[in-house]
Structure 1
Amino acid sequence: MTQGQELIIENLAAGYGKVQVLWDVSVRVGAGEFVAMIGANGAGKTTTLRSVSGVVRPSAGRITLGGRDISRAQPSEIVKLGLGHVPEGRELFPLMTVLENLELGAAMRPEAAAAQKHTLEHVYSLFPRLAERAGQLAGTLSGGEQQMVAVGRALMGRPSVLVVDEPSLGLSPLMTQTVFEALRAVNAEGVSVLLVEQNVGLSLRLAHRAYVLENGQVVKEGTGAALLQDPSVREAYLAL
């Protein structure tokens, strides 16, 4: 995988039409860092990731990737600069095979296309089941297998920064562990990771640092270990 770049979100405001979702959100993911973003449904986590990948256009603030301003860039341009996005809900092409879905992930970056065979072998090493299912239609896979394809497709682009939205949604504990182990391995190789996840305990145990979003604003930040022990976090998100 490509070595990680720094992702910086500064004073971000964004929403949908006249409905504002984010107010003054600032988040930093250092090169090679694993950062988690937690919060209740509707807190603005997905909108933050969509703003980073260019799907949502910010109304204010600045986003930089490796020092380059991507605040107004098109999604295709942002992918070429090294961002990989695993969206909530996976968004696979159900009538295409596993292999075809994975190959699409390498299509936008020349360097990824050139290294496609090597990267595919790496994805299969992270998710051996995908090698077994390579010729199977993606729409016929289990939810966990589809999530593996979604992560694998993003990795096929050889991203320097990977943003991941709710990867455990609808997955069994075993499948969740498999996906999170892959994310841990990718980060250990140097890729920067920004994770949005409903499994707060698992996220904070993996993350170097984390942010808490409430009503479209960052209300708390710290190391994953510190937030895991924070009384307000434990009460609100861990039922402890």
Structure 2
Amino acid sequence: MTATQTNPAASRTQGQDLVIENLAAGYGKVQVLWDVSLRVAPGEFVAMIGANGAGKTTTLRAVSGVVKPSAGRITLGGRDITRATPSQIVGLGLGHVPEGRELFPLMTVRENLELGAAMRPEARAVQAQTLTHVYELFPRLSERAGQLAGTLSGGEQQMVAVGRALMSRPSVLVVDEPSLGLSPLMTQTVFGALKAVNEQGVTVLLVEQNVGLSLKLAHRAYVLENGQVVKEGSGAELLADPGVREAYLAL
């Protein structure tokens, strides 16, 4: 069964909204974000694009509690998570697919996936059902379930990273550079799964270097430059924007 064939009724999720207001953050004395504000509505697919160093990854890390903001506010489903810990934020329904995947290479595919359910009691209660759903999205992971994650191809590892986040039964999924280092075919597979997950109700905030593909999928998008939002609009509007096309699509 492919990602687009997965039965939405088997895992329908009620998406929450994610709101970032006037966010400032960085690393030590180095400030990366200045006054970033954006909103992802329940069930929406939103892309965040920008050059390397624009602050996209830092924004996602602040959302998931890995980086603590120096100013501003972040809410998830109306609940303030600005100062919450990563485990608390996962417990409230946010899943994070980090840049670089961050798998445990000496653990099997299945063990890596099962870790995703560990921090949410409601996810542990339906772990078997969710694992079946992940295998439906990515049939190759079912075939590789007993294989060490470190021996997988880059594309297979990205599937595990996405699947692990989904194992927590998130209502909001933030995804950082999922196509990095992947072949065009594997990129289409991973993006097809993200589209399917969104169609099943999960709110998605995507950071992605493949600007053309992400804008085609996204309902709306934001452009970050030097730690600030400089443009926003529908995916179609930004695809047609001359500045975006020149800066990010080489057109």
With the shorter chain as reference, the TM-score category is: over 0.9
Q: Offset at 1:18? A: 0.3
Q: CA deviation at 1:22?
A: 0.1
Match of 2:110, as an amino acid? Answer: L
What is the letter of the counterpart of residue 33 of structure 2? L
Aligned with 1:193 (options 204, 207, 215): 204
Could you give the per-residue CA deviations for residues 192-211 of structure 1, whole angstroms, max 9, x where no partner exists?
00000000000000000000
| Distance in structure 2 (CA, Å) of the matches to 1:35 and 1:3 | 16
2:45 to 26, 31, 34: 34
| 1:201 maps to amino acid | G
- 2:241 corresponds to: 230
- Structure 1 residues 1-240: aligned runs within 5 Å: 1=11, 2-240=13-251
The amino acid of 2:192's aligned partner reads E
Q: What is the distance in 2 between the residues matched to 1:27 and 1:164?
A: 16
Aligned length: 240
How far apart are residue 154 of structure 1 and its match? 0.1
TM-score normalised by the chain length of structure 2: 0.95
Stretches of structure 1 that go unaligned for 5 or more consecutive residues are none
Tell me, in whole angstroms, the C-alpha distance in 2 between the residues paired with 1:116 and 1:21: 37
Question: What is the TM-score when the length of structure 1 is the normalising length?
Answer: 1.00
- The DSSP-based 3-state class of the residue aligned with 1:5 is coil
Give the letter for the 1:136 counterpart: Q
- 1:205 partner letter: K
1:153 aligns to what SS in structure 2? helix
Q: Distance in 2 between matches of 1:238 and 1:131?
A: 36
Deviations, residues 75-101 of structure 1 (Å, cap 9, x unaligned): 000000000000000000000000000
1:3 Cα deviation from its structure 2 partner: 1.3
Residues in 2 aligned to 1:31 and 1:169: alpha-carbon distance in whole angstroms: 27
User: What does the per-residue CA deviation read over 1:163-186, in whole Å, with 9 as the maximum and x for residues that have no partner?
Assistant: 000000000000000000000000
